[in-house]
Structure 1
Amino acid sequence: MTFVNVGTLGTQPGQREAVVAILTRANPQLAQAGCLLYEVGTSEESPDTVFVTELWTSAEAHQESLQLPSVREAIAEAMPLLNGQMSGFQYQISGSPLRD
C-alpha cells in the first residue's frame, strides 16, 4: 500500500521561499528510494509556512530515505530557517476512484 506523509514546516519570518528552494531542488535519489510524489506548496494565508505532501511505496521507504546523504544535507540546510513549528500526519492509502 502507498504511504502518505503530509506536513507543515513553520519558517523564520521571510525565510519561506528559501526553504521552498531547498525542498524543491532536483533529487533523483528520492525516486530511487521509493518516493512516488513529493510536492511543496505555500499559501498566502500562512506566509511563514511550507506545506509538503509525500507519497511513498512504503513507510519503510520513507524512513530509509531520511538516511540518504542528499536528504540529510537538505535537512541540515533548512533547519536554521525553521521556527520549530511543525505538524502533520501519515496514513496508508486504501484506494482511489481514479485508478483500477
Structure 2
Amino acid sequence: MSKFAMFGKLTAVPGKRRELADMMLASDDTLSEMEGCIYYIIHEAEEEPDVLWITELWESREAHAASLQNEQVRELIGRCRHLIANAGGIKVKPLGGKGY
C-alpha cells in the first residue's frame, strides 16, 4: 500500500487563528493516537493572518479515512468548528525523501 499525504488549509474566523491552533494542539493525545498517522503538523501561514496549514502523512489512504471516523477526532472537529471560516486543501502522492 502506498502512503497518503495532504496539505490541509484551515482559514480561521478573523482574529481566531491562534485560538484555533491552540485548541487543536491542546488535543495532543487525540493527534498522537491517530492510528496510521506518521505525522500531522500544524503551521501558521506567515503572510495570511487567519490561515493554518496542516501537513499530514499517513500509512495509507484508508488510515486517513478511518481517522475521520474516530470518535475523539470527530469530537475535536466539533469543538473547533465555530472557529473555522473555511476548510480545504490538496491531496498529494508522496514519492520519497527524508521522513518517507
TM-score, structure 1 normalization: 0.86
CA distance in 2, matches of 1:91, 1:51: 14
CA distance in 2, matches of 1:64, 1:15: 29
Q: What's the counterpart of residue 5 of structure 1? A: 6
Alignment partner of 1:50: what SS? strand
CA distance in 1, matches of 2:42, 2:12: 14
CA distance in 2, matches of 1:23, 1:39: 10
1:26 to 21, 25, 28: 28
Instruction: Please state how far the C-alpha of 1:57 moved relative to its aligned partner.
Output: 0.2
Unpaired runs of 5+ in structure 1?
A: none
Superposed structure 1 runs of 4+ greater than 3 Å apart: none
- Compared CA separation, residues 61 and 46, structure 1 to 2 (3 A): same
CA distance in 1, matches of 2:14, 2:75: 22
RMSD over aligned CA atoms reads: 1.7
5 Å-filtered alignment, 1:64-75, equals: 64-75=66-77
2:41 to 39, 42, 61: 39
TM-score, structure 2 normalization: 0.86
Could you tell me the percent identity over the aligned residues?
A: 32
Q: What's the counterpart of residue 51 of structure 2? A: 49
CA deviation profile, 1:24-80 (whole Å, cap 9, x unmatched): 2212321xx100001001023111111101100001000000111110111001111
Structure having the higher strand fraction is: 1
Unpaired runs of 5+ in structure 2?
A: none
